[in-house]
Structure 1
Amino acid sequence: MSKQLEIDTPEKVYHLGNQVGILVVGFVFIVLGVFITPFSAGMGVLMIALYIFKNKLEAIRIFKNHSEIKLAPASSRWLIKDTDIKKASFEKNILTLDIREKGQRIIRKIPINAFSEDERKLIIKHYQDIEAENTSPST
């Protein structure tokens, strides 16, 4: 009897907000590189590549019982179980998650201003709802 590989698909995926500024600066550097120094052109190409990677990055993936957060292309993905979230607070455009994992306290800070306004509200509500569910007394 063979085991079937079950792949979870996220219920919701949030991408980082459109960061056109990086793209514009990349093109400016390329133009400067053509007329002034080739080094600038190389920096421009790197900035355009960063723009492409950031636009395709699935920053927050929400599953049934957990979520995965990856805020930069070269960073590792944080796996956060819903049951481990003890507190979700929002101050100064930073969503702070207080997580208890295997007896250890872990603080995860998410710069929420990197998302669109509607997505910010949904993300904050999602984690605050989980906090309320985890802190409510069981009946």
Structure 2
Amino acid sequence: MNIVRSHELSSNIFHLVSVGYFLADFVMIFWYFPSLGGYEYVIHHLFSLVAVAYSMLSGEGQLYTYMVLISEATTPGINLRWYLDVAGMKRSKAYLINGVVIFLAWMVARILLFVYMFYHVYLHFDQVTIPNEGVFIIILLL
């Protein structure tokens, strides 16, 4: 079984929802620019949108796209931390608990998962191929 190129209808639906999320977020960032974030957010959402859409349309790397999207699970906690700060609750127990949960979630979803993902890519590197030259150049330019 080719892990790098396998995909199902359920995978495409999940990717389509993710593309919709990034597109909606991208539009909101532009609409309220720069209140919701600067150019780094625009670049992050643009890259994410292109990568997830490419994975959805080509069927390539969907497993790895899922792994990267899991890292977005830390975002609600980070957003909650901002709300607690704006509400003047920086010294509250909720703010402290939120910080601990973010730290633990960050370790799992952003550090350990990426170590595993790169190890998995290494194990299945024989299945990874560079797409045609045009797509490869576009990916490099992004």
Q: Higher helix share goes to which structure? A: 2
Which structure would you say has the larger Rg? 1
Structure number with higher strand proportion: 1
